[in-house]
Amino acid sequence: MIYNLIIYLYLLGVAIYSRFNEKVRKMWRGERDAFRILREKVDPNAKYVWFHAASLGEFEQGRPLMERLRQEHPEYKILLTFFSPSGYEVRKNYEGADIICYLPLDTITNARRFLRIIRPVMAFFIKYEFWYNYLHILKHRHVPVYSVSSIFRPEQVFFKWYGRQYGRVLNCFTHFFVQNEISKELLEKIHIKDVTVVGDTRFDRVLQIKEAAKHLPIVETFKQDAQVFVAGSSWPPDEEIFIPYFVKHPEWKMIIAPHVIGEDHLRQIEKLLEGRKVIRYTKAENSQLSDADVLIIDCFGLLSSIYHYGEIAYVGGGFGVGIHNVLEAAVWEVPVFFGPNNQRFQEAQGLKAAGGGFDFETAEAFECQMDIFLKDAEKLRVAGEKAGQFVQGLAGATEKVLSAVDL
């Protein structure tokens, strides 16, 4: 089969490229180490529920399910696998799963060996995960398999004439819990009927994050009574849009949490902010904070809590491959700004339609919207309220999934 040939060619490519790239090297070693981890940690008498997430974003979508399952059904143990180092390296010590490892690449041999060790009683594949050999073996063994928070588009291979053979992999799923009606309609066109529209579990996750938000004395001292603009996961093209505005408007304070925390990038930001008093979070002293104009977050793990301190939020990535998580900001009932590359992000489209999200292609358009909010506090309040209502109104996917699964 062509699929297996592609997998072996990919495996060869990873083996070669791992000699030159640290991220690929971690993935290569992690996949090879997975069987050792399983041999050491698997309890042969336990009943395992397997969750697979490609990377960190998919993990966050699966997390509410794992935590509810663990809380309400302690008779099960949870296996969590990742494909990407960006997921595994960040969450390898996550306490909500009993075993965490990389997923060995989808060869027939690996799939048989992996499933022979685990013998899962059910499996959840998050969003875009369609591994042909794993799924066919699970189906052959009559193991229920669920696709969660999945979303389908007409341009995907499953819906093309040349993708019919690979498209059979979709028949291996017991049920699809999809994000929207379009996905359901596309699946029905290829005769897949076990589909329920439940929305996106990320809405549940951001509400969890809000409940567990950190108290940040440094940020509180910096903010005091000022209006604050929070820019999260920003890249240089984003910063070139919003920083010029705040250089000219000293009545606003700003918090910037860049996506890449490297010294070169931090210095680049500081250079753009010449004329404003800038301080880095890790070097902040209380005596300096109240007079500072800009706080740069030069560490990880704080962003979802920092949005709480803003009147307006900006989420980066919209001038690159795509925006980051707008829901983490919107849940705090603040208007959310982002760049133009957001068409493929359903949550951003929904946020715009609800009146809580705003996108920009130019610094001039950004400045125009900022001026509107600066002059009209009521419009600012209403936009923030709509952002929060958008998140609250679409929560509940976790409950819908677990109530439909035979546990």
Q: pLDDT tens digits for 45-88? A: 999 999 999 988 899 999 999 999 999 999 999 999 998 887 89
| Closest by CA position to 136, among listed 91, 167, 157, 163 | 167
pLDDT at residue 394 is higher than 80: yes
Q: How confident is the model at residue 19 (pLDDT cuts 50, 70, 90)?
A: confident
Report the pLDDT averaged over residues 163-190. 93
* Residue 204, pLDDT score: 95
Distance CA 395, CA 157 (A): 30
Per-residue pLDDT tens digits for 341-387? 999 899 999 999 999 999 999 999 999 999 999 999 999 999 999 99
Higher pLDDT, 57 or 229: 229
What percent of the chain clears pLDDT 70, i.e. is strictly above it?
99
What percent of the chain clears pLDDT 90, i.e. is strictly above it?
80
Q: How confident is the model at residue 143 (pLDDT cuts 50, 70, 90)?
A: very high
* Residue 286, pLDDT score: 83
Domain 2-197 matches domain 209-393 at the CATH topology level: yes
> Which class does domain 209-393 fall in?
alpha beta
Q: Where are the domains of the chain?
A: 2-197, 209-393
Instruction: Please give the distance of CA 217 from its chain centroid, rounded to a whole number.
Output: 27
Distance CA 322, CA 41 (A): 38
Instruction: Please give the distance of CA 178 from its chain centroid, rounded to a whole number.
Output: 16
Per-residue pLDDT tens digits for 244-290? 999 999 999 999 999 989 999 999 999 999 989 999 999 998 888 98
Residues 6+ apart with CB under 8 A from 402: 65, 68, 69, 72
Per-residue pLDDT tens digits for 104-116? 999 999 999 999 9
pLDDT at residue 44 is higher than 70: yes
The architecture (CATH level 2) of 2-197 comes to: 3-Layer(aba) Sandwich (3.40)
* Residue 34, pLDDT score: 93
Q: What is the pTM of this model?
A: 0.84
Q: How confident is the model at residue 1 (pLDDT cuts 50, 70, 90)?
A: low
Query: By the 8 A CB rule, do 179 and 346 touch?
Result: yes
* Residue 14, pLDDT score: 67
Burial of 68 (0-12, 13-18, 19+ CB in 10 A): middle
* Residue 112, pLDDT score: 96
Query: By the 8 A CB rule, do 340 and 317 touch?
Result: no
* Residue 361, pLDDT score: 94
